[in-house]
């Protein structure tokens, strides 16, 4: 049973560029949430996708956007990268959308460095 998989694991970008991160949820899960974790801090909620729609959004600018596909996998896109976007981006999958408050299964994360 595959867990949550994320790609790429590491990437380096320069300011102003755009990046796309990908996530495949745990088998059987239909909800994907994205978190940003800066070094030494706790994960910060970016947004949640369920039924191919953004259901919840944290305090992140519109430069952060996402998508969920019919197979429940998801992408996180960040435009006009800033130095402050350097962080570990975590994908967490769960079941049941916004009505379920159960365990979050996290992937290994994508480490983004913006130079």
Partner 1 sequence: GQQVMQIPQYQHVQEGEDFTTYCNSSTTLSNIQWYKQRPGGHPVFLIQLVKSGEVKKQKRLTFQFGEAKKNSSLHITATQTTDVGTYFCAGMDNYGQNFVFGPGTRLSVLP
Residues that bind partner 1 (CB under 8 A): 33, 35, 41-45, 48, 55-56, 58-59, 90, 98-99, 101-109
Closer to partner 1 by Cβ: residue 16 or 61: 61
Which residue lies nearer to partner 1 by CB, 78 or 90? 90
Nearest-approach distance from CB 42 to partner 1, in angstroms: 4
Reduced 3-state DSSP string for 64-100: EEEEECCCCCEEEEECCCCHHHCEEEEEEEECCHHHC
Which of 104, 114, 108, 109 shows the shortest CA–CA distance to 29? 104
Cβ proximity to partner 1: between 14 and 97 the closer is: 97
């Amino acid at each position: 049973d595959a867990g949550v998989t994320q790609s790429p694991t590491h990437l380096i970008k320069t300011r102003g560029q755009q990046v796309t991160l990908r996530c495949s949820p745990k088998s059987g899960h239909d909800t994907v949430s994205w978190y940003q974790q800066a070094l030494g801090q706790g994960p910060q909620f970016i947004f949640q996708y369920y039924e191919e729609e953004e259901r919840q959004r944290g305090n992140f600018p519109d430069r952060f956007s996402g998508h969920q596909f019919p197979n429940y996998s998801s992408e996180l896109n960040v435009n006009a990268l800033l130095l402050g976007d350097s962080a570990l981006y975590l994908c967490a999958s769960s079941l049941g959308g916004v009505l379920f408050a159960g365990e979050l299964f996290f992937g290994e994360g994508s480490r983004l460095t913006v130079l």
